[in-house]
A and B are shown apart, each in its own frame.
Chain A
């Protein structure tokens, strides 16, 4: 019965697409569907609590091979479905405010389809079904980033997003092909159960392929660039797809496959990538001026935190941070959207000059940015203590540096955006007030949830010395950014450093990626040229066959053509007569 959770959104997606442009009806339909899904998730969460329900459906089967699509209902998957549908309800509420002036039907049809796929993804119990929904969220992300099709930037960035994530999709495909050839099953539990039986080469290959899939979906180094450009999409999309749910699917995949990661011995590889990603993202966020892109870098960093937990085989920490991050990050995106609608810009320095401090979003924003920096008493402080539980001393030391950088960039954004007092009151609407306040309340008091989280996923956490050293580093970061960006001491040095950063930006890694892309298409161009050369050589060969046989060069003027035509028609006639009358 678990598929019931998905059905409302699929129905609403099709219905909205069929009905066409109907103003707020599309919004209402998708919102109702999301609420129904949320209630159903809650119902199943309660009724299946502490049970492990597997519902299997055969897609097709032949000669003993069964291609089954199965859903699994246990505490983890149903909690995830609860989380996804909850965030979706919040985002759809906010979208009612943000997308008021846009075309509604296409947006809500695609959003409903996305939520449908995302719920399917978290509930799937077979790798095949997981892959199917994994592809669905990829293409809906592509369509939604490109929502404003008439602008240049979304066109480029949607293509880039799908292309880079497709590297991961295809390695996922390769992985499930290998798994299925080895085990003749797609079931995740059967796969994890029979890992000891598989040859080490297979485990290693499959592990690497799944890690590539996860890294590309979660925009980790070396794939992170697409997520920054994806911010060209509408803000509800950035909030739901590109921070709270879809990108987290990458981490979720590895959480589900954690026994594979440990059996393949690839956990330290993940850890290395996660630390590189976190440091890179934190540094790059420091030079960014675009509000949403700062949040995107922070998302990349937060996902790296989840990968750190996965790399230390700490599933509970990863899941809890995933939940924490989804809550506070979607709220921050809502705030960026509210400011953008009211002031018409995402540029933090322009927002600064308009004056925003004292408006009603200031407190939620402070909660959000403090959550990025993991400052108590907010929920993310607890989440950090869970992530770092398995860290050794080296990892902890690097994490302290990251904590400092994180606080620095997040409070830079806060102090710059809310640097000047607001002149007039910001508009408040229920559709935006309700989600922001709800999420702010959860981020503030949600820390206690960690003490009940064991029921969902075994979790260990402790406030050890390093928790407080990290906290001190974060507070130092806050202080430094206050001095630099609010009190504006050393302003010249800061500006100089930012200019250097922008200059470095020109040579950044992304150029390399674009270069690779160009090299591929250049190579394609030459292969195409080569192929047309082959083709024209063949043409000449074909012509000369006729020239030799007819001893004439009249092929061009059509006489030879008529001659051949006559022969061929005669042949056909003979054959027809033969076939019909003999």
Chain B
């Protein structure tokens, strides 16, 4: 058995190593420390998968039942895969992109890493909230300090205002739960949910909904998304879209489906409708984008709205689909943002209409772009397909309206194919004749991500097998 606390101790040690590194000279670079830290964590996670995880509990203040307790819940393990493995791929982009105050950047990087893992495994609401906040704050710094020189700070501020508001509503939910159940411990709360009067349940659910809708994000609380995704450094964008948005989905399943299931089931029709509206609205908004990175930001939101539909339906099948889609989307969107980053590095523009014919110079790049797009479009054999299939099967049974979101997939096909056509097909512009094929590192990262996309796509049972008790 692997104790869950080790998944926190290792990144913590990495952070300490990064902090003391300047005082003892420069034996190794910050990237290497970060990489080693994450690899050790992944190895621990792998052993945990084989041997099983054991919980951790340390009482801190028993009068308010504040204990540092870690436990796997029914949907933890798939998310842990995302949280431990994906940042390794993101690191390799960050290593190229971040040039100034690197030690500090990697401290924040590991703090995000640590806190996302902790959110997934903490079973005490105070611990949950502390790490939830830590993740937001460290990303705020990453966006503000290493983002776009002119717009980065404003974007970071906007991100902070929005997500802090969401955190406040989440805190309110936790306090309400404490007031009525007398505990911050999730298993205790779950057993005492009957003590909540129905209006409190509804109130808590709506507060939770605000948090989730900001985090995922869902219309009409998504306005922070575009600026934050666009002006943050690419590694920050990957963190935001691949992991932070999943925190919203995770909280929605853990609390919305886990605790407030009655409310969720009563409200599922309007919620599914909201999800469908968001999906189609965002698919249209994405169709109107000329900038590759903006388009990807919107498309990321599109898939999260499918997740929202799945969870809102409150059916086990659709929830499993949502978990698969979230994990799969984490890998796919990282691959696509990575591709857009490489493209920007090589051509100096995000506007795909100015490009063309890149296929002739960079066939491997072309392969990964097409692969990423097909994965995104839910081609069978790649990871999105089982997720989408289960979401539609599950939600159709209770809310037939959800099938309308398929129209959004058609719109996605349109804009993704436009990107492929503009980037890969046609004649190469004269100034791009010196383009070089992907470097070994880029190739390795893209293959690494593609491997997981293919693995989940071919064997979704790997993920389904570790989701328990729905």
Contacts of A24 in B (CB 8 A): none
A549-564 Cβ-contact flags toward B at 8 Å (1 or 0): 0000001001001000
Which of B173-181, B221-229, B345-353 makes up part of the contact surface? Answer: B221-229
Question: Is residue A4 within 8 Å, beta carbon to beta carbon, of the partner chain?
Answer: no
Question: Is residue A155 within 8 Å, beta carbon to beta carbon, of the partner chain?
Answer: yes
B403 x A524 contact (CB < 8 A): no
Which of A129-137, A337-345, A367-375 makes up part of the contact surface? Answer: A129-137
Question: Is residue B433 within 8 Å, beta carbon to beta carbon, of the partner chain?
Answer: no
B410 x A167 contact (CB < 8 A): yes
Closest to A555 in B: B157
CB distance from A186 to the nearest CB of B (A): 10
B381 x A132 contact (CB < 8 A): yes
Q: How far is the CA of A571 from the CA of B129 in the complex (A)?
A: 14
Question: Is residue B3 within 8 Å, beta carbon to beta carbon, of the partner chain?
Answer: no
CB distance from B354 to the nearest CB of A (A): 16
Question: Is residue A579 within 8 Å, beta carbon to beta carbon, of the partner chain?
Answer: yes
Question: Is residue A528 within 8 Å, beta carbon to beta carbon, of the partner chain?
Answer: yes
A135 x B379 contact (CB < 8 A): yes
B392 x A177 contact (CB < 8 A): yes
Contacts of B224 in A (CB 8 A): 535, 538, 542
Contacts of B393 in A (CB 8 A): 177, 180-181
Complex interface residues of chain B between 126 and 150 (CB less than 8 A to chain A): 127, 130, 133-134, 137-138, 140-141, 144
User: Which of A523, A537, A572 counts the most chain B CB atoms within 10 A?
Assistant: A572
Which of A57-65, A240-248, A249-257, A408-416 makes up part of the contact surface? Answer: A57-65
B461 x A60 contact (CB < 8 A): yes
B380 x A527 contact (CB < 8 A): no
Question: Is residue B460 within 8 Å, beta carbon to beta carbon, of the partner chain?
Answer: yes
B413 x A529 contact (CB < 8 A): no
Contacts of A558 in B (CB 8 A): 153
B134 x A575 contact (CB < 8 A): yes
Q: How far is the CA of A204 from the CA of B380 in the complex (A)?
A: 26
A60-104 Cβ-contact flags toward B at 8 Å (1 or 0): 111101000000000000000000000000000000000000000
Of B137, B286, B317, B464, the contact of A568 (CB 8 Å cutoff): B137
CB distance from A75 to the nearest CB of B (A): 28
Contacts of A65 in B (CB 8 A): 317
A312-355 Cβ-contact flags toward B at 8 Å (1 or 0): 00000000000000000000000000000000000000000000
Closest to A154 in B: B425
Of B157, B289, B379, the contact of A139 (CB 8 Å cutoff): B379
A527 x B460 contact (CB < 8 A): no
A166 x B421 contact (CB < 8 A): no
Closest to A181 in B: B397
Q: How far is the CA of A178 from the CA of B141 in the complex (A)?
A: 47
Contacts of B379 in A (CB 8 A): 135-136, 139
B413 x A135 contact (CB < 8 A): no
Closest to B316 in A: A63
B406 x A170 contact (CB < 8 A): yes
Question: Is residue B365 within 8 Å, beta carbon to beta carbon, of the partner chain?
Answer: no
Closest to A578 in B: B130
Question: Is residue A429 within 8 Å, beta carbon to beta carbon, of the partner chain?
Answer: no
Q: How far is the CA of A571 from the CA of B461 in the complex (A)?
A: 42
Question: Is residue B386 within 8 Å, beta carbon to beta carbon, of the partner chain?
Answer: yes
B351-387 Cβ-contact flags toward A at 8 Å (1 or 0): 0000001011000000000100010000111000010
A526 x B288 contact (CB < 8 A): yes
Question: Is residue B427 within 8 Å, beta carbon to beta carbon, of the partner chain?
Answer: yes
Contacts of B284 in A (CB 8 A): 520, 523-524, 527-528
B360 x A150 contact (CB < 8 A): yes
Closest to B157 in A: A542
Q: How far is the CA of A582 from the CA of B285 in the complex (A)?
A: 48
A542 x B162 contact (CB < 8 A): yes
A522-551 Cβ-contact flags toward B at 8 Å (1 or 0): 011111111110110111001101100000
Closest to A527 in B: B284
Which of A156-164, A187-195, A441-449, A490-498 makes up part of the contact surface? Answer: A156-164
Of A150, A180, A521, the contact of B288 (CB 8 Å cutoff): A521
Question: Is residue B411 within 8 Å, beta carbon to beta carbon, of the partner chain?
Answer: yes
Q: How far is the CA of A152 from the CA of B427 in the complex (A)?
A: 8
B288 x A177 contact (CB < 8 A): no
B157 x A170 contact (CB < 8 A): no
Question: Is residue A509 within 8 Å, beta carbon to beta carbon, of the partner chain?
Answer: no
Question: Is residue B252 within 8 Å, beta carbon to beta carbon, of the partner chain?
Answer: no
Contacts of A520 in B (CB 8 A): 284, 287, 411, 414
B464 x A62 contact (CB < 8 A): yes
Of B133, B360, B386, B413, the contact of A575 (CB 8 Å cutoff): B133
A-B contact pairs, 29 of them (CB 8 A): A60-B459, A63-B470, A132-B380, A132-B381, A135-B380, A136-B379, A136-B380, A139-B374, A139-B379, A149-B426, A152-B426, A163-B417, A166-B413, A173-B389, A177-B392, A177-B393, A180-B393, A521-B288, A524-B415, A527-B288, A528-B285, A538-B162, A539-B223, A542-B162, A543-B154, A545-B161, A568-B140, A575-B130, A575-B133
Known: A535-B223, A568-B137. 6 other contacts (CB 8 A): A150-B426, A177-B392, A528-B288, A537-B223, A568-B141, A580-B12
